[in-house]
Amino acid sequence: MPGGSAGDRLTDPVRRARFTTAALATIGELHWRTARPLRVDHRVFSRFVTSPAALVRATVPPRDGPTVTGVVHELAGRLRDRWLPVGRIHGNFGPASVLVDTTEQVTGIVQWGQSAQDGPTALDVVTLLVSTEAKATRKEPGTVINGWLAAGSPPPLDDIVDSQRTLGGDPVSPRALLLLGWLHIVSSRLVSSARYAANPAWLRRNLVAVLRAIEEEQAEGRQESR
């Protein structure tokens, strides 16, 4: 196939923005042609939240288990009984999966091994945004996610919300979609290879650090409510 990886060109903010726009437009065409609204009932919630969270809970230190449960409860409040666009998703949509020419225009999408039918289309958007930022800044995805959660709603998350609105889903907060994407990213890695669970540095930066930040945030919220 023509084209190659965007690679180190992503460190240039202008080229990174051009790549992101082109990649989202390309995968958006697939979403547009396959998407339909689906209510997040118990079965759907279990597939995309409860099951990935159980895998995360089984991997992190016991002290972080209650925070995983808290994330599940938060997402239940934000997603249950809402309508989300679902369709054919790539499942691991990042710079390594997108071939581009010298002007960052997409020439092909590869690595479809984690593709799924009736997946929340927002997962592809979150995965691309997080992995592109991580690649460009040489950070772990968990570090990127922590920064965006702390910022509340940084500009990149507007793309996630816009994708939901375009495909006819209910309004869902950027935070909920980012947490949903985080569960998808880390659980997919854990399923794909045992080396992730066996890597203390990866676990600390991508699972534990995110959970500890959420735990601290929850503690501050309880203090303020007293």
Question: pLDDT tens across 117-149, in order?
Answer: 999 999 999 999 999 999 999 999 999 999 999
Amino acid at 76: A
Residue 95 lies in a domain: yes
pTM beyond 0.85: yes
For residue 38, what are the domain limits?
A: 7-217
Amino acid at 207: L
Q: How far apart are CA 46 and CA 142, in angstroms?
A: 23
Burial zone of 163 (CB within 10 Å; 0-12 exposed, 13-18 middle, 19+ buried): buried
Residue 225 lies in a domain: no
Indicate the SS3 state at residue 85. strand
The tens digit of pLDDT for each residue in 215-226 reads 998 777 666 666
The confidence score (pLDDT) of residue 20 equals 92
Residue 146 lies in a domain: yes
Residue 222 lies in a domain: no
Q: How far apart are CA 148 and CA 178, in angstroms?
A: 9
- Our count of domains for the chain comes to 1
Instruction: Go through 25-46 and write b for each residue having 16 or more CB atoms within 10 A of its CB, e for each that does not.
Output: ebbbebbeebbeebebeeebbe
Residue 211 lies in a domain: yes
The tens digit of pLDDT for each residue in 53-108 reads 999 999 999 999 999 999 999 999 999 999 999 999 999 999 999 999 988 899 99
Residue 127 lies in a domain: yes
What CATH number does the domain containing 199 carry? 3.90.1200
Q: How far apart are CA 149 and CA 193, in angstroms?
A: 27
Residue 224 lies in a domain: no
Residue 24 lies in a domain: yes
